[in-house]
Amino acid sequence: MDKSVSMVMAALNEEKNVRAAVESAIQLLEEHCPDYELLVFNDGSTDRTGAIIDQLAKSNPRIRVTQYSVNRGLSASTKDAIKIATKNYLTWFPGDHSIDKDSMVPILTKIGQADIIVSYMGNPESRPFLRQIVSETFVWLMNAIFHFRLRYYNGPTVYPVRLLKSLTLKSNGYEFYSEILIRALRTGATYIEVPFTHKPDPQSRSKAFTLKNFISVVKTTGGLIKDIYFSNKK
């Protein structure tokens, strides 16, 4: 089985972290998925993020850089990555380097054991208590509505690129990764769950708690309910 991997990385004003994130991703891929490409998106940064990733790409032709002039969000970069991906599988790694790369090894090595390798946070206690409660509530609601028993919806999951290209993805917000997973699993794809380790940054503030994100989650969830239960769309 060809386990070639397209790994997506989006970065917004991450000049302090993006070099380490790219280097970690490359080391991870070189050791465990040598047939790879790293699709790096500068999401409208106003610092040196764009210049740093351009410099890194010069030393490694497998790094493919997309520069957005304005902030477009994770959904835009992932949708574009799905369109341009040339490998058989796709996953992502955070541009803020907030995941322990070693914890990604079991995720990548299990490619082929199921259609989808679903990752979940193995150390949720690393997040502030309120963030944990919100995350657990979100997971419980998604499981209840869509009849799954998943531990997490927003981790660096591995998908067959062919499956991703077949999906109609509508979300443009925070819940985008959840929509991908729900629509992919509703096709009947098999999956296994594997933990990853989150690296907390005490100086970082969560971008999840906004009215815009809340409205987007409600809108996308309503659309999924309509498509899945009333229109028979995946």
pTM of the model: 0.91
Query: For the segment 22-57, what is each residue's pLDDT rounded down to a tens digit?
Result: 999 999 999 999 999 999 999 999 999 999 999 999
219's tokens:
């809108």
- Share of residues in the chain with pLDDT > 70 (%): 93
pLDDT of 79 higher than 70: yes
Q: What is the pLDDT of residue 172?
A: 85
Give the pLDDT band of residue 210 (cuts 50, 70, 90). low
Q: What is the pLDDT of residue 202?
A: 54
- Burial call 36-47: b when 16+ CB within 10 Å, e when fewer: bbbbbbbbbbee
When comparing pLDDT for 221 and 143, which is higher? 143
Q: What is the pLDDT of residue 231?
A: 78
pLDDT of 203 higher than 60: no
Contact 38, 7 (CB under 8 A): yes
Q: What is the pLDDT of residue 233?
A: 52
Domain range for 132: 5-231
29's tokens:
């891929």
Q: What is the pLDDT of residue 148?
A: 96
Residues linked to residue 40 through DSSP beta bridges, in sequence order: 9, 65
Q: Taking the alpha carbons of 112, 114, 115, 117 in that order, is the dihedral positive or negative? A: negative
- Extended strands (E) in 16-167: 36-43, 63-68, 89-92, 116-121, 159-160
Range from 115-124, 138-147, 216-225 carrying the lowest mean pLDDT: 216-225
* Average pLDDT in the chain: 92
Residues with Cβ within 8 Å of 229's Cβ and at least 6 positions away in sequence, in order, are none
Query: For the segment 85-110, what is each residue's pLDDT rounded down to a tens digit?
Result: 999 999 999 999 999 999 999 999 99
Q: Which of 114-128, 168-182, 209-223 has the highest mean pLDDT?
A: 114-128
pLDDT of 207 higher than 70: no
Question: Strand, helix or coil at 72?
Answer: coil
pLDDT of 223 higher than 80: yes
Long-range contacts of 186-190 (CB under 8 A, 24+ apart): 186/146, 186/228, 186/234, 187/163, 187/234, 189/114, 189/115, 189/116, 189/163, 190/114, 190/115, 190/116
Q: What is the pLDDT of residue 234?
A: 52
- Share of residues in the chain with pLDDT > 90 (%): 79
CATH code, domain with 192? 3.90.550.10
Please state the domain count of the chain.
Answer: 1
pLDDT of 131 higher than 80: yes
